Amino acid sequence: MARRRLSVQPIGRTPLRRPVIPVRRLTLRPEPGMAPLDALVATPPDATGALVYVPGFNTPLGEWEVAKCQLLADASGLAVVVSELPGLSHHGDPIPEAVRRDLLRQRLQSWAELNFSYVAAALRTLDGLPVRQLLGYSTGCSLATASLPWLAELGTPEVLSLIEPVAIAPRRLAALALHDAADLARLPAALTTNRHQGWLRPLHGRMLSDHAVHYTFGDLLALTQVLRADELPAALGRSSPARVALVRGERSALCPRPAFEALDRQLEDAGVAGPTIEVRGLGHQLWHSFPALVTVARAVLAG
């Protein structure tokens, strides 16, 4: 099955309307004694299902992410659920020792299972709405894909959207650090595309300080062991929905083009439908460009 391949250019001058969609903030402890994590739940009217959004490394769930949830809910017509990641929260609790040991061995499943327990707790507040779609950004791509077996308990996702997947090519830690620095230098280019959206200006300065994320050096080291591996293509080979959308920034270093194109071919050979999208002019930080986010969301999320 041939996949649809697109190249898109976000139009920063086009006014974006902030959807008037309520967003609840939850603090979750799936079981007594577990560390607290915050979650956001956006609920558009007449939602027929849920979209689970798995964020990237160091993502504070402040107003910046609240606005993203509203836009994703508006584009999909689904309730949107996002939670902080275990070990990466403003509460500052570390990853459990056994899970950290697995990550250091490049084994993702126990962290994905732990993360899923929080996502499931948030989904239970939606009165049985089934999970229809799953979307991950950056680190969240690996977690989202690894969560597919558990999410099947709550409704088989029809669409998996992977925005800037990182763990698709093996590399040394030094190379991963250099790629991260190169893409961080491209963040201003992504933020510049928001300059015509007046309602976003007050949120810019609060992007990282609002509900700032805390993590330990040991947890950072463990997570980089996963990100420098190429576990995601193998995980998709074991379990994949019928439709997988792939999205990459044209200038991205963290999501290398050869590995991204190889993943696209792997999905095509396996008969997995879905678009493969390149966002022109932007790098890994494309998810901080709201014009890019809306353009991508409209292309990959089935309303």
Q: Which of 47-51, 95-99, 204-208, 252-256 is predicted with the least confidence, judged by mean pLDDT? A: 204-208
What is the tens place of the pLDDT at every residue in 217-245? 999 999 999 999 999 999 998 888 889 99
Q: Which helix (H) or strand (E) holds 232?
A: helix 231-238
Q: Mean pLDDT over residues 78-91, rounded?
A: 96
pTM of the predicted protein model: 0.94
Q: Quote the pLDDT of residue 208.
A: 57
**Per-residue model confidence (pLDDT) at position 303:** 45
Structural domain containing residue 118: 4-300
Q: Which DSSP category does 205 fall into?
A: T
CATH number at residue 32: 3.40.50.1820
Average pLDDT over residues 38-52: 95
**Rounded to an integer, what distance in angstroms lies between the CA atom of residue 265 and that of residue 263?**
5
Closest C-alpha to 298, from 94, 90, 77: 77
Q: Which of 10-24, 31-45, 284-298 has the lowest mean pLDDT?
A: 10-24
Across the range 264-283, mean pLDDT stands at 95
Q: How many domains does the chain have?
A: 1
Mean pLDDT across the chain: 92
**pLDDT recorded at residue 211:** 78
Beta carbons within 8 Å of 302's beta carbon, 6+ residues apart = 76, 133, 158, 159
SS3 call for 75? helix
Give the mean model confidence (pLDDT) for residues 65-69: 96
Q: What is the pLDDT of residue 207?
A: 64
Q: What is the pLDDT averaged over residues 173-187? A: 94
pLDDT at 53 over 90: yes
Q: Bridge-partner residues for 159, per DSSP? A: 133, 243
pLDDT band at 1; cut points 50, 70, 90: low
